[in-house]
Amino acid sequence: MSDVFERVKKIVVENLDVEEDKVTESASFIDDLGADSLDLVELVMAFEEEFNIEIPDDVQENIRTVGDAVTHIKAHVS
Amino acid sequence: MFDLTGRTALVTGASGGIGSAIAKALSEAGAKVALSGTRESVLNEVKGNLPGQGAVVTANLSDTDSVDSLVSRAEDAIGSPLDIVVANAGITRDKLLMQMKPDDWDDVLNVNLGSYYRLTKSVVRGMMKRRHGRIIGITSIVGVTGNPGQANYCASKAGMIGFTKSLAQEVASRGITANCVAPGFIESPMTDVLPEAQKEALLGQIPAGKLGQGSDIASACVYLASDEAAYVTGQTLHVNGGMAMI
């Protein structure tokens, strides 16, 4: 499942235009990776497409770090 | 100038006077146009008069499921993602406030403003990804000036303006603009029903001395939909023969 992290990382790097090594599990999208709230919405859209899942609005609000995203995606991808 | 070749548009309320004029103008500028409304036979007639490619998608804007699926149905029917949405559909239930029933209020707010929220939300997602989009809300002069007997309608139209300004700020960085066009009094089935005396009184308030035409509104829409208007967002373009200068 480390594959999920790699795929998430690739999307984050592309969307936020950040260095790969900054995208760690504990990195906060907003505080560490320079995302704004609209970037977050777009990231979630990209995750939904990449993993073919739907991330409900109430879950989206709790996705603050790269690790949060990976955890949620792992829970929903079979 | 104002070439919409390669663009795809959706016009709601396209069977009406203003809506059909908007659809025609967008088509003349080169856009493919999906026409939505409740009256399928009239929509087909409008489609038949378009110089370019068109498609008909029926939608009842008082039915939330129908609105939620409208964007995807329109994109399927016309065969490409929407670049331009003109939210033109609207209803009136004119009454003095003291006689206005809760249903008169709810119906007008739901159809005019609620459907604008739903329609916009479902189309903006794709526009954000494509980094391009044009949202155009057809509001009304009375949304700014008020009008006795139309508290519900005026509230819905003022609501569209505030909504559009917020949306414009949220998505400006993604190449999407959101603007309103505010018609004054335009010759249409909605103004045809006004009593003659009221029409005369109206004309006295219009410096241009005549009612506007659907094509006057359509031209404003073509401009706002164009690449040339890329730096114009959150605005309300008043097209009213000088009736109100705001």
| Tens-digit pLDDT profile for residues B19-62 | 999 999 999 999 999 999 999 999 999 999 999 999 999 999 98
pLDDT at A2 over 70: no
CB contacts, 8 Å: A45 with chain B: 125, 128-129
pLDDT at A1 over 60: no
State whether residue B166 sits within 8 Å of chain A by CB. Answer: no
Number of A/B CB contacts below 8 angstroms equals 11
Across the interface, whether the CB atoms of B129 and A45 are under 8 A apart is answered: yes
Across the interface, whether the CB atoms of A45 and B173 are under 8 A apart is answered: no
Task: Map residue B35 onto helix, strand or coil.
Answer: strand
pLDDT at B208 over 60: yes
Q: d(Cα A25, Cα A21) in Å, to the nearest integer?
A: 11
Predicted confidence (pLDDT) per residue in B113-157, tens digit: 999 999 999 999 999 999 999 999 999 999 999 999 999 999 999
What one-letter code names the amino acid at B218? A
Predicted confidence (pLDDT) per residue in A4-14, tens digit: 999 999 999 99
Q: Measured at the alpha carbon of residue B58, what is the angle toward residues B55 and B59, in degrees to the nearest 5? A: 130
What one-letter code names the amino acid at B241? G
Please report the DSSP string for B66-104 in residue order: HHHTHHHHHHHHHTS--SEEEE-------B-GGG--HHH
Across the interface, whether the CB atoms of A38 and B174 are under 8 A apart is answered: yes
State whether residue A14 sits within 8 Å of chain B by CB. Answer: no
State whether residue A45 sits within 8 Å of chain B by CB. Answer: yes
By CA distance, what is B124's nearest residue in A?
A: A42
What one-letter code names the amino acid at B24? K
State whether residue A42 sits within 8 Å of chain B by CB. Answer: yes
Pull the structure tokens for residue A16: 């936020």
Would you say the ipTM is above 0.95? Answer: no
Sheet holding B32-37, edge to edge: B54-58, B32-37, B8-11, B84-87, B133-138, B176-183, B236-239
